Amino acid sequence: MSKKFDIIIVGAGIGGATLALALACSSTAHFITVLESSSVITELGAGIQVTPNFTRILTQLGLGNSLAAVGVQPQYMRQVRWEDGKTLTHFNVNADDRMEGLFGYKYWHVHRKDLHRLLYEKVLQRGVVVKPGVKATSWEHGSDGREIVHCDDGTIYEADLVVGADGARSLMADLVTGHKVQSMATGDSAYRALLPAAVMDAPEFASLELRKYATTWLGPGRHIVSYYVCDGAFYNIVIIVPDEPGEESWKKLGDMPALRKQFMNWDPRIKKLLGMIDESYVWKLRDRPSLSKWVHDEGNLVLVGDSAHPMLPYIAQGAASAAEDAMALATCLEFVVEGKRDLRSVLKVYESLRVPRTAHMRDAARANKEYFHLPDGPQQVIRDEALRADGLTGETPNQLNDVQKLKVLYSYDVKQEVVDHFRALDAKM
Ligand SMILES: Cc1cc2nc3c(=O)[nH]c(=O)nc-3n(C[C@H](O)[C@H](O)[C@H](O)COP(=O)(O)OP(=O)(O)OC[C@H]3O[C@@H](n4cnc5c(N)ncnc54)[C@H](O)[C@@H]3O)c2cc1C
């Protein structure tokens, strides 16, 4: 019989919430406490792309129908030229059941708050204890082998296992590695906005058929991704631009007039779109070299999500990979068996399965930065010609439509991978 643990999760973002649910749904009834520094447990107001590998996990956790109730199913995607919005390529997403046919699950566009609410409601229903407004400030491996977390309100929690799901600026990552983990500025920042659908009915946008196509404008050093969320009630826009020099803050209110200036020569419809955004936060996008260590050398302290592997959002795999980590860790714990396999050894298996997979996702996202941001010139001409030909040749520089590359990302069943891994180990015993 697998072993029951006291588990503390630090952070209730998508990674921490998915882990809490995956643990609560697992065959072992662990006792789970989630500590969240923010007093309100939610996500920011923006869209998120839920790719089929992420949909698979949400479905395995019993959220398939709820996701369908809050999500928009994009039918097609289109990539267009920055200066005039001319189509460079378009391809089926859910149209003709392409995603389900190829990868088993749909692709969704969802409001982050809706996705987080679905996870959080189920987490509470399953009896997980959640402590909002409690910030973990330190961790120690006790002499009796228990893990101890100290918090800013003076409370102390003890557990068999502590999981750092505390995001890209992770204290838990510093504690696991024993040094300050520095993330790197990637050179890009993201503005995000949600516009009410009514303003998108302006005649200027009609020819773009935005209800039919999720659209990405590719431009020199910049790109813009846009799609509907909330059953079509809001239009989500992500604007990626070069970092402002000297900027230190990772999230602050952006300078909209300065942003609009950067797009003066772009497709007039982009100018119109940006003119309708009154304010937006701006996030300095960061990633980092792979952390080879996700598990503390002595204590049962382990990382999931952005705390282990922040990545550029250019392949929509940041939250998806956090959800994969969550499912992987919860499944690994089912294979701790008294007298046969201990907690430390399954944590190392978790790390060994997740480090290469997330490095692959991060590299794919970095490659898209080059592809999206080519300056006008010979390489951009080659890219655009290849994009125009991709329907005919089947070959494409566009990772988002490259079936072989998508198979690696989207067909992956992390739960099955963990089960197969342990079955293979058992067979050798
Ligand atoms: C512009 C943009 C677009 C994106 N689009 C997509 C997309 O379409 N699809 C996709 O899959 N991914 C996308 N991502 C990536 C995705 O948003 C992140 O990878 C994901 O949200 C990370 O979740 P997390 O739970 O690991 O971290 P976070 O969301 O950062 O959550 C960490 C939580 O821990 C809490 N916390 C921090 N420190 C402490 C502490 N000491 N004690 C207690 N609590 C603490 C924080 O308050 C927070 O709630 C995008 C990212 C950006 C920037």
| Given the residues 191, 227, 228, 410, the one annotated as active site | 227
Q: Is the pLDDT of residue 133 over 80?
A: yes
What is the mean predicted confidence (pLDDT) over 140-155? 96
Task: Find the mean pLDDT for residues 296-316.
Answer: 96
Q: Categorize the per-residue pLDDT at 248 as very low, low, confident or very high, splitting at 50, 70 and 90.
A: low
Lowest mean pLDDT among 29-43, 67-81, 124-138, 257-271: 29-43
Indicate the DSSP class of residue 341. Answer: B
In a domain, residue 283? The reply is: no
User: Could you tell me the pLDDT band of residue 249, with boundaries at 50, 70 and 90?
Assistant: low
Strand partners for 75: none
User: Considering the entire predicted model, what is its pTM?
Assistant: 0.97
Element (H, E) at 184: strand 184-196
Q: What is the mean pLDDT of residues 10-32?
A: 95
pLDDT over 90 at 339, yes or no? no
Query: Looking at ligand 1, which atom is closest to the CA of residue 47?
Result: 8
> Which of 14, 19, 153 to probe ligand 1 with, by most ligand atoms within 8 A of CB?
14
Which ligand 1 atom is at minimum distance from the Cα of 17? 25
Q: Which of 13, 117, 63 is nearest to 325 (CA)?
A: 13
Residue percentage of the chain with pLDDT more than 70? 98
Smallest CA-to-CA distance from 260 within 244, 239, 229, 243 is with: 239
345's tokens: 């050894």
Q: Is residue 173 part of a domain?
A: yes
What domain range is 170 assigned to?
6-183+288-428
Query: pLDDT confidence of 104, banded at 50, 70, 90?
Result: very high
User: 84 falls in which pLDDT band (50, 70, 90)?
Assistant: very high
State pLDDT tens for residues 34-65. Answer: 999 999 887 777 999 999 999 999 999 999 99
Place of tokens 């330190």: 138
The predicted pLDDT at position 184 comes to 83
Q: pLDDT tens for residues 179-216?
A: 999 888 889 999 999 999 999 999 999 999 999 999 99
Active site residue 227: yes
Indicate the pLDDT class of residue 278, thresholds 50, 70 and 90. very high
The reply to whether 226 falls in a domain is no
Partner residues linked to 312 by β-bridges: none
DSSP labels, 61-107: TT-HHHHHHH-B---EEEEEETTT--EEEEEESSGGGHHHHHHSS--
Task: Please tell me the distance between residue 83's alpha carbon and the centre of ligand 1 in angstroms.
Answer: 32
Residue whose token pair is 């592997």 = 309
Type of residue found at 216: T
Q: Mean per-residue pLDDT for 350-365?
A: 97
Task: For a ligand 1 pocket test, name from 33, 37, 302 the mutation site with the most ligand atoms within 8 angstroms of its C-beta.
Answer: 37
Overall average pLDDT of the 323-340 stretch = 96
Residue 215 lies in a domain: no
Q: What is the pLDDT of residue 246?
A: 62
Instruction: Give distance in angstroms: CA of 35 to centre of ligand 1.
Output: 15
pLDDT at 118 over 60: yes
pLDDT of 387 reads 94
Mean of the per-residue pLDDT values of the chain: 94
Closest atom of ligand 1 relative to the 318 alpha carbon: 19
**Beta strands at 108-111 and 301-303: parallel, antiparallel or unpaired:** unpaired
Q: Is the pLDDT of residue 122 over 60?
A: yes
Atom of ligand 1 nearest to the CA of 11: 34
Q: Is the residue at 313 inside a domain?
A: yes
Length of the chain: 429
- CA 337 to ligand 1 center in whole angstroms: 32
In the β-sheet with 156-159, what is the strand arrangement from edge to edge? 136-141, 147-151, 156-159
Cα-to-centroid distance, 256 and ligand 1 (Å): 24
List, for residues 360-412, the tens digit of each pLDDT value.
999 999 999 999 999 999 999 999 999 998 877 778 999 999 999 999 999 99
The contacts of residue 77 (CB under 8 Å, 6+ apart) are: 90, 91, 93, 213, 214, 215, 216, 400, 401
- Answer whether residue 16 is part of any domain: yes
- 256 in any annotated domain: no
pLDDT confidence of residue 429 = 79
- Taking CA atoms, 89 is separated from 77, 210, 269, 385, in Å, by 8, 15, 19, 10
Q: What spacing in Å lies between the alpha carbon of 167 and ligand 1's midpoint?
A: 5
Q: What does the pLDDT average to over 89-109?
A: 97
**Ligand 1 site, CB within 6 A:** 10-16, 35-38, 48-49, 135-136, 165-167, 171, 190, 192, 238, 283, 305-306, 313, 316-320, 322
Q: Does a structural domain hold residue 52?
A: yes
Report the domain count for the chain. 1
Q: How far is the CA of 278 from the centre of ligand 1 (A)?
A: 24
The pLDDT value given to residue 183:
81
Output the CA torsion sign for 135, 139, 143, 145: positive
Residue 149 contacts by C-beta under 8 Å, 6 or more apart in sequence?
8, 10, 35, 136, 138, 139, 156, 157, 158, 159, 162
Q: Crossing angle of helices 318-333/343-373, nearest 10°?
A: 170
- Ligand 1 pocket check: which of 34, 36, 112 to mutate, most ligand atoms within 8 Å of Cβ? 36
- Name the pLDDT band for 250 (thresholds 50, 70, 90): low
Residue 143 dihedral angles phi and psi, to the nearest 5°: -65, -25
Structure confidence at residue 247 (pLDDT) = 55
Cα–Cα distances (Å) from 314 to 2, 73, 90, 362, in that order, read 39, 19, 17, 9
Domain with residue 53: its CATH number is 3.50.50.60
